[in-house]
Chains A and B, each alone.
Chain A
């Protein structure tokens, strides 16, 4: 599974869009990009995933560059409850095993 690189921390004003970047320059053609988040003292929560097209759901949007070497998770209107550690993970399809969580990005949403 390809390695990902994320900034250690970011701040965002409440009500504004939060854009969280992730680099995955060694991604392979069959590897998906997943985003999870973990709010303090809770289990990780699945947010969204994509292969090559941009994706949107009720929580967030995922923008994947054309060369697939980087992606951005967008929380369109951040709230204080979005304060969490956000993990970008790259994993091949058909893999029955583990998710490799890196250190992630700590997003602090401020009033």
Chain B
């Protein structure tokens, strides 16, 4: 079974703090993704990575950065946390699609509250 783990289930941070969210997958997947989920807005893609040290912006990258130094690990960084970044953050991974369909496997999520 694919396993995607996230460093924390719940996190409370203060405005202006630097926040690191870690994600690790154990299936040697090339692709990794960070989404945030908010009521009424669904899941929105923040960043994704298709290889080590490679990254692509998603729909809402502002205020976030990412790091992928190793294939199994993808980190989301909030450089200076703000209250509008209070959300559920979800990490996912998948094989590189190529010409086929590739399902994404999600972690349990991190509920971040910025006060």
- Pair B33/A98 contact, Cβ less than 8 Å: yes
Number of A residues contacting the other chain (C-beta, 8 Å)? Answer: 22
Contacts of A95 in B (CB 8 A): 97
**Residue A94 lies at the interface, judged by CB distance under 8 Å to chain B:** yes
Interface size class of chain B, counting residues whose CB lies under 8 Å from the partner chain: 20 to 34
Given A93-B99, A94-B97, A96-B50, A45 contacting B106 (CB threshold 8 A): yes
What per-residue 1/0 map shows which CB atoms of A72-111 lie under 8 Å from chain B? Answer: 0000000000000000000101111111111100000000
User: Considering the chains assembled together, what is the distance between the CA atoms of A5 and B4 in angstroms?
Assistant: 29
How far apart are B42's CB and chain A's nearest CB, in angstroms?
A: 5
- Pair B106/A103 contact, Cβ less than 8 Å: no
How far apart are A57's CB and chain B's nearest CB, in angstroms?
A: 11
**Given A44-B90, A93-B101, A98-B58, 15 other A-B residues pairs in contact with their CB atoms under 8 A:** A43-B4, A43-B90, A43-B92, A43-B107, A44-B92, A44-B106, A51-B101, A93-B97, A93-B98, A93-B99, A97-B48, A98-B48, A99-B104, A100-B42, A103-B42
Please list 9 pairs of residues, one from A and one from B, whose beta carbons are closer than 8 Å in the complex, sorted by A's number.
Answer: A34-B101, A34-B103, A43-B4, A49-B101, A93-B99, A93-B101, A94-B99, A96-B48, A97-B58
Interfacial residues, chain B to chain A (CB-CB below 8 A): 4, 31, 33, 35, 42-43, 45, 48, 50, 56, 58-59, 90-92, 96-101, 103-109, 111
